[in-house]
Structure 1
Amino acid sequence: MKPIKLRPFAVLALAGISIFACKKSDQRFPEGIEHVVVIGVDGLSPDGIKKASTPVLDSMVANGVVKWNVRTVLTSSSSQNWASMIMGAGPEQHGIINNDWEMDDHTLPPVVQEPDGRFPTIFSLIRKNKPDAEIGTSYHWGGFGRLFQKNAVNHDKHFSTEDSTASDFISYIKTKKPTFAFMHLDHVDHAGHHDGHGTPAYYKSVSKADSLIGKVLEGIKEAGIEESTLVIITADHGGIGYGHGGATPQEAEIAMILYGKDVKKGYELKQQVYTYDLAATIAFAFNLTPPYAWIGRAIKPAFEGFDEPENLYLGQETIAQPVIYPDKKLYAQAGGLYINEKPSVKMSTPVSGGQIRYTTDGSEPDSSSAIYSNPFSLDRTTVIKARSFDGSGNESLVTTAYFRVLKETNGHGLTTTFYEGNELKEIPDYGKLKKGQSWVSQEVGTNTEQISSLFKNGNSSFALKFEGFIQIDKEGEYLFSTSSDDGSMLYIDGQKVVDNNGNHGVMEETGTIKLTAGKHAIRVEFYNNGGGFWLDAFYKGPGIAKQLIPADKLFLK
């Protein structure tokens, strides 16, 4: 028999097959994960975990893997982020762009959809690949139930409290030992909206979540599946003040904790992580191929035997920001209004051995700026900006504080009038509302305690009107902005400059106008549909850094 001769291209083709086969066999996955349990806590911020009493979560971090700054999709609200987590993609792909999304009422269709019209989820992926798998979810927020394929789950229960949700979820785990189970808790977000993020009530709600998570872990143990279960703790967004939805680190960064089977112990992830990486990570744990439409990537370094990506680029490390006292509280900016007194500026940095450099002219501090060593006093309205530096050349984001100094009140301020509202949805026709009290405000803003005392029968829908004059010292173009929850408008000399109308969380809008030196009429209109509320007004002009409109520039006449 004659030997077979292979042509060069055939040899190459076989080599290619051999190489492909090797690459295919090199694909590795965690071993032995038979169950994945996800616990999602709506509104849980990294700050909440770090500052509240959370012994269970602390233990999970110490014995598992954590990423403290997982980036959400924008806007930093619930529907689009829970959807992104279970769909492995962002709003641009799955089409859920806000909390108003409904299956029969939305504007952006998904780029690919299941027969029920939804973008493919981790629920449907597991169901297709594991037809006999037990899959279920217990959720506190009813809106979560509209995001996944109903035919993909065996257990689909909604409850009105966090306790009943957790109780059902634990019972489900103990009786069914599900392959995949997802629990959603909503009470932390409620505390953020009702009492404010960073308040004692908020931290208390985080501690309650920690306790419930501990009970779930105990349920997993009692079910006899602890040694083969991966547990993931996540959230949809953080918060600031009484809300969320904005593009700030406080709102758009959450913590994610991985714990249990095949997870490293006491490890902090280096790779960048996004909320939509959750679904891909669960697929990876189950050795499943994600749909091509998913953009999420598995968090492989969380598992034993897997390293951080070779092409990981970390850039310059961002260290912790300094604190300028009085610190921010809820939405209130750091600094404050000082009438007939000189404020004392005090700063601190949480960076061990760190240095604070600062400016007093509103410019960005750098390595050549003044070094803070001791408190100092101010005798005029000043914008303080500060940045932390460490010994390795790393620096923090900038902390800004607005110190407003008013040496006398005679003639200063704005006439403020309260109007009763009723489910307002935009700046109202004030002539059609019942006019209430009027008073003089030294600045554009909302005194929560004062305004809440004017509510009747618990009705928190109202409108305000601020009227007076603003002193412009130098001719030029000025930028004005309002930051409000809900809507606001700002007028100069009767001309609308800022349009921040409509129902929304704290959101900032800007506008510009050319002004001559002298006094100009200013009017700010504001309304609240209900619930929490806030209003700030800023300006920036020739030689003037962006700042809260100073009290010493506002006049009644």
Structure 2
Amino acid sequence: MMNKLSFGIAAAAVLCATLSARAEADVPQRRAQHVIVISFDGGKPAVIAESEMPVLKRLAAEGAHTWVANTIFPPKTLPSHTSMTTGVGPDKHQILWNDWMPIRGLVKVPTMFSLAKEAGLSTALFAGKVKFRHLWVKDSLDEFNFGGKQDGAPVPADQNKAVVPAQTVAKEAAAYIVANKPDLCFIHFPDADSAGHKSGWGSPEQKEAFKVCDQALSQIVKAVKDAGIADSTVMIMSADHGGHDKNHSENIPDDMNIPWIAWGAGVNPGHEIKGAVTTFDTAATAIWLLGVPVPASFDGKPVKEAFSPVAAAVAKPKAP
């Protein structure tokens, strides 16, 4: 009798321990206090390699990177950035157009911003193109900035295709980062895409635009340091698509291949990512780093290979 009782108690203890361990494993562990996602519009890896971009290339060398990540099809700015920020493909988010079209409304699936806000985190988006308003789900952003803070007022017809240059986007974002230290921040640099459409992918004009974008990136790196959050921040740098000739609409490597770089707290240093990475993995990685559960509906998965198992140790708690 005692042997059976002892066995039962022991079995119950093992079961409780197992269930407790599983519960702890299911609780997301926050690995970074701040995540900044930066998109270089039209960032074809082969052209980046030929451009003067010392800051981006240094961050790639110091952090974890792949130059053969992939975007979604169609490889266009708005559909791709929607996948980048929602963690799902176009078949789910249904944003297949590529201009600001207010009659079509906003994205209908959760974004990384809305998920972060539901978790009590602060969010900001700094856009270089007005079409990003399609991602501005109600109450999902503390700051939507398009050359200045926006209040949701209608966009004048002559501003339907307006573009804010990278240096201005970076200036606005840098000031906000220093002042507010957002938990999740997205920054979009449009210049290289504009130059590609005008002069061609890989043209001298586009390479000069990439150089300007790299200088804009340096403003963000400096802002992170000036804000005193460098030790608890992860920066993810990627692109929405590549390009060839003066366009980017085909299912070919020139248009589909993009860079994916992680740098900062808990990132595996000097690591070349071997696993496949797709643009919708960016949203999954961003919220995973912040300790927000990744929805089962996501197509994207966190790029865990890019991060050290002990990454949580460097995520310093925020001051009360």
**Common topology (TM > 0.5):** yes
* Larger Rg belongs to: 1
Q: 2:207 corresponds to which residue? A: 203
Does structure 1 residue 61 correspond to structure 2 residue 85?
no
Question: Which of 262, 273, 284 is residue 277 of structure 2 equivalent to?
Answer: 273
Please tell me whether the aligned partners of residues 65 and 261 of structure 2 are also in contact (alpha carbons under 8 angstroms): yes
Match of 2:183 in 1: 179
Q: How big is the shift at 1:48?
A: 2.2
Q: Which has the larger helix fraction?
A: 2
Measured in 2, the distance between the counterparts of 1:42 and 1:119 equals 23
Partner of 1:227: 231
RMSD: 2.7
Question: What is the 5 A alignment of 1:141-156?
Answer: 141-156=129-144
Check 1:9–1:93 CA distance in 2 against 1; reply closer, same or farther (3 A cut): farther
- Structure 2 distance, partners of 1:141, 1:184, is 8
Q: Deviations over 1:270-291 (max 9, x none)?
A: 1111000011101110111122
Match of 1:20 in 2: 19
After superposition, what is the alpha-carbon deviation per residue over 1:504-542, rounded to whole angstroms, capped at 9, x for unaligned? xxxxxxxxxxxxxxxxxxxxxxxxxxxxxxxxxxxxxxx
Moved more, 22-31 or 167-176: 22-31
Q: Is the partner of 2:68 in helix, strand or coil?
A: strand
Taking structure 1 as reference, are residues 117 and 145 closer, same or farther at Cα in structure 2, changes over 3 Å only? closer
2:73 is aligned to 74
Which residue identity does 1:23 align to in structure 2?
R
State TM-score, norm by structure 1: 0.50
Per-residue CA shift, 1:337-364, capped at 9, x if unaligned?
Answer: xxxxxxxxxxxxxxxxxxxxxxxxxxxx
What are the superposed Cα offsets for residues 261-307 of structure 1, whole Å, 9 maximum, x if unpaired? 1111111101111000011101110111122211210000111128x
Contact 1:93 1:293 in 2 (8 A): no
Shift in CA distance, 104/215, structure 1 to aligned 2, threshold 3 Å: same
Q: Higher relative contact order at CA 8 Å, sep ≥6: structure 1 or structure 2?
A: 2
What is aligned with 2:150?
none
What's the CA shift string for 1:383-409, capped at 9, x where partnerless?
xxxxxxxxxxxxxxxxxxxxxxxxxxx
1:12/1:217 Cα in 2 relative to 1: closer, same or farther (>3 Å)? same
Q: Tell me, what secondary structure is at the counterpart of 1:152? A: coil
Q: Deviations over 1:135-159 (max 9, x none)?
A: 1111111111211314111111112
Correspondence 1:127-138 to 2 at 5 A: 127-130=117-120, 133-138=121-126
Contact preservation (8 Å) 2:31, 2:291:
no
Which residue of structure 2 lines up, in the alignment, with residue 248 of structure 1? 252
Q: Structure 1: where are the runs of 5+ without partners?
A: 107-115, 307-557
> What secondary structure is seen at the aligned counterpart in 1 of 2:139?
helix
Contact 1:76-1:236 at 8 Å conserved across structures: yes
d(CA) in 1 for partners of 2:15 and 2:259? 43
* Deviation readout 1:161-220 (Å, 9 max, x if unpaired): 222211111110111111111111111100010000011111111111111101110111
Query: Displacement of 1:80 after TM fit?
Result: 1.0
| 2:136–2:144 Cα contact (<8 Å) kept | no
- Report the AA paired with residue 68 of structure 1: W
Amino acid at match of 1:87: T
Provide TM-score, normalisation by structure 2. 0.84
| Contact 1:49/1:57 (<8 A) preserved | no
Between Structure 1 and Structure 2, which shows a larger proportion of strand residues? 1
Within a 5 Å distance, the mapping from 1:66-465 to structure 2 comes to 66-99=65-98, 102=101, 104-105=103-104, 118-130=108-120, 133-159=121-147, 160-305=164-309
For the residue of structure 1 that corresponds to 2:244, the secondary structure is coil
Distance 2:22 2:62 in 1: 33
CA–CA separation in structure 1 for the residues paired with 2:23 and 2:67: 33
Helix, strand or coil at the partner of 2:125: strand
**Aligned partners of 1:118 and 1:148 also within 8 Å:** no
- Identity fraction in percent: 28
TM-aligned CA distance change 1:117 to 1:281, over 3 Å:
closer
